[in-house]
Amino acid sequence: MKIAVIGSGYVGLVAAACFAELGHEVFSIDNDEQKVAQLQRGELPIHEAHLPELLARHRGQRITFTSALTPPVADSEAVFIAVGTPPTAQGEADLSYVESVARAIAEAIYSYKVVIEKSTVPVLTSRWIRKVMLLDGAPAEMFDVASNPEFLREGSAVSDFLYPDRIVVGADSERCAEVLRQIYAPLTSGSYYRQSSPVPKPSGAVIPPPLIVTSAQSAELIKHASNAFLAMKISFINAVANICEAVGADIREVCEGIGTDARIGRRFLNPGIGYGGSCFPKDLKAFAAVARECGYDFHLLDQVMQINAAQQQRFLRKVRNALWTLKGKRLAVLGLAFKGGTDDIRESPAVELVRVLLKEGCSVRAFDPAAMKNAREVLPGAIYCESAYDAAAGADALLILTDWPEFAHLDLDRLRSLLAYPIVVDGRNLYLPATMAAAGFLYYSVGRPDAQPAEARGRSREEKTVAPVPAKVD
């Protein structure tokens, strides 16, 4: 099929590349001329596994990047809206970009189209899109509006798209639903997975994935409710981790005990410094705003957001307890992205913590495998290093703020030799306390007892002239 995807941000670009991978002819449309030119050259604006291969395979073949909207829309059978919906000052989703695109689509319709929301939008947005298009002259019989929410995780978005847990189609007519069934037929029939070189199958993938047809309103709610529930799991386990610290329990053992319950599941039970990124913070605020407009005060969402904000402050107190004072301290920071596998620093807890540390008078030496370019724009006061070991050299403490896999496999002997003090404050629980204690570290993590070496392993004055390691302040 011929498909137009309007917006080449994170969702739009991944969707366009994956639709091309499924065999469709795709127009990726964006009004940012510079970004379009970049994509036409084969350069990617985001860090995402498998996306470079898909772009190299399909650019100029099945996928065309353009800033023109009318000809591609007129030529396509399905038009996906994947523009940004940033939060307003009141927390509501800003739908002005969606409205602008809907008006432009209305002017380009000369044959039947299915217009599909791919952006995360509040419930009833599909009705507003239809109303706007009708007011702008699009004949009612010439289009349908559907909702097809994405459930992509940054860092594994391509795999999530091609090996989804489910495909949700919100359509209010059978004609509209059938178009979307055809679009996803290579997945639901299993034919994509039988071809010679599909994107590698991730562990636990269900093949073929189920396609769930709902009303447009239900599909819109499914997206917001899913993200809210996952954010709630993160905040819940962080709250439990705080209780573990108070009573001397181990959150890792608690997670194993509750996560093996099939009704709960182990995923997203990962205590740390809180969630971030472009989805959870924005979507929770928007969902709470939708609830208020409907006359329902969704207190639970407010608590989820409050716990998340408080988690960063708790971690900052851990750093203070480990170092006593912060002013003048030289700190190594591993991780700036909001999670491993991406260069996205939007709403990143790591960035917020570094910002506070800089204000406190710390010298921050940071390393992130992908996010340093983006971080330089918002954290100009940090020093950016070439490796984790470069960041650690001479630092008073090492802070782990992002769960990049490589940070869980550092050479601990080398790390200890580089640090001025053997202090590690791990906001992602990448190491076992016993392992770190055995390696000679004072180790602080989330929801677990602090770990110290069995014996003092201070180096001699000949090795390094330093003051005694500061005691933990309760």
Determine contact, residues 292/282, Cβ cutoff 8 Å: no
Q: Do strands 113-117 and 143-147 pair parallel, antiparallel, or not at all (unpaired)?
A: parallel
**CA 375 to each of CA 247, 277, 342, 372, 378: distance values in angstroms, whole numbers, following the listed order:** 37, 13, 12, 5, 5
Structure tokens at 419: 């640090």
Half-sphere exposure for 190 (CA within 13 Å, toward CB) = 5
Known catalytic residue: 279?
yes
- Domain 312-444 sits in which CATH superfamily? NAD(P)-binding Rossmann-like Domain (3.40.50.720)
Instruction: Compute the chain's Rg from CA coordinates.
Output: 25
pLDDT for 122 equals: 84
CA distances to 166, 369, 444 from 18, rounded to whole Å, are: 16, 25, 42
Quote the pLDDT of residue 458: 47
Bridge partners of 117?
81, 147
Answer whether 361's CB lies under 8 Å from 328's CB.
Answer: yes
Domain ranges of the chain: 2-214, 235-308, 312-444
**Same-fold call for 235-308 versus 312-444:** yes
Q: Is 386 helix (H, G, I), strand (E, B) or coil?
A: coil
Distance CA 136, CA 131 (A): 9
Which of 282, 265, 10 is CA-nearest to residue 161? 10
d(CA 301, CA 290): 12
What distance in Å separates the CA atoms of residue 63 and residue 17, rounded to the nearest whole number? 7
Give the C-alpha separation, 153 to 58, whole Å: 22
Per the document, the length of the chain is: 474
User: In terms of CATH architecture, what is 235-308?
Assistant: 3-Layer(aba) Sandwich (3.40)
Q: Judge residue 218's burial from the number of C-beta atoms within 10 Å of its C-beta, 0-12 exposed, 13-18 middle, 19 or more buried.
A: middle
Residue 285, token pair as written in the block: 């605020």
CATH class of 2-214: alpha beta
Task: Name residues whose C-beta falls within 8 Å of residue 291's C-beta, 6 or more positions apart in sequence.
Answer: 297, 298, 301
pLDDT by residue for the chain (474 residues), tens only, comes to 999 999 999 999 999 999 999 999 999 999 999 999 999 999 999 999 999 999 999 999 999 999 999 999 999 999 999 998 888 877 788 899 999 999 999 999 999 999 999 988 888 899 999 999 999 999 999 999 999 999 999 989 999 999 999 999 999 999 999 999 999 999 999 999 999 899 999 998 989 999 999 999 999 999 999 999 999 999 999 999 999 999 999 999 999 999 999 999 999 999 999 999 988 998 999 899 889 989 999 999 999 999 999 999 999 999 999 999 999 999 999 999 999 999 999 999 999 999 999 999 999 999 999 999 999 999 999 999 999 999 999 999 999 999 999 999 999 999 999 999 999 999 999 999 999 999 999 999 999 999 998 764 444 434 443 333 333 333
Rounded CA separation 28/68 (Å):
10
- In sequence order, which ranges of 32-146 are alpha helices (DSSP H)? 33-40, 51-58, 70-75, 96-107, 125-135
Q: Residue 82 has what pLDDT?
A: 95
* H or E stretch covering 352: helix 349-359
Give pLDDT tens digits for 270-325.
Answer: 999 999 998 899 899 989 988 998 999 999 999 999 999 999 999 999 999 999 99
Specify whether the CB–CB gap between 128 and 158 falls below 8 A. Answer: no
Question: Helix crossing, 10-21 with 51-58: angle to 10°?
Answer: 60
Separation of alpha carbons 78 and 183, rounded Å: 9
Helix axes 216-247, 125-135, angle to 10 degrees: 140
How far is it, in rounded angstroms, from Cα 284 to Cα 302?
Answer: 8
Q: What pLDDT is recorded for position 86?
A: 85
Cβ(329)–Cβ(315) below 8 Å: no
Q: Do 3 and 337 form a contact (C-beta atoms < 8 A)? A: no
Alpha carbons within 13 angstroms on the beta-carbon side of residue 398 total: 33
Residue 271 burial (CB count, 10 A) = 27
CA-wise closest residue to 24 among 74, 69, 71, 76: 76
CA 290 from chain centre, in angstroms, equals 22
pLDDT tens for 144-178 read 999 999 999 998 999 999 999 999 999 999 999 99
**What are the residues whose beta carbons fall under 8 Å from the beta carbon of 405, sequence distance 6 or more?**
340
Catalytic residue (choose from 18, 176, 279, 385)? 279
Q: Is the pTM of this model over 0.85?
A: yes
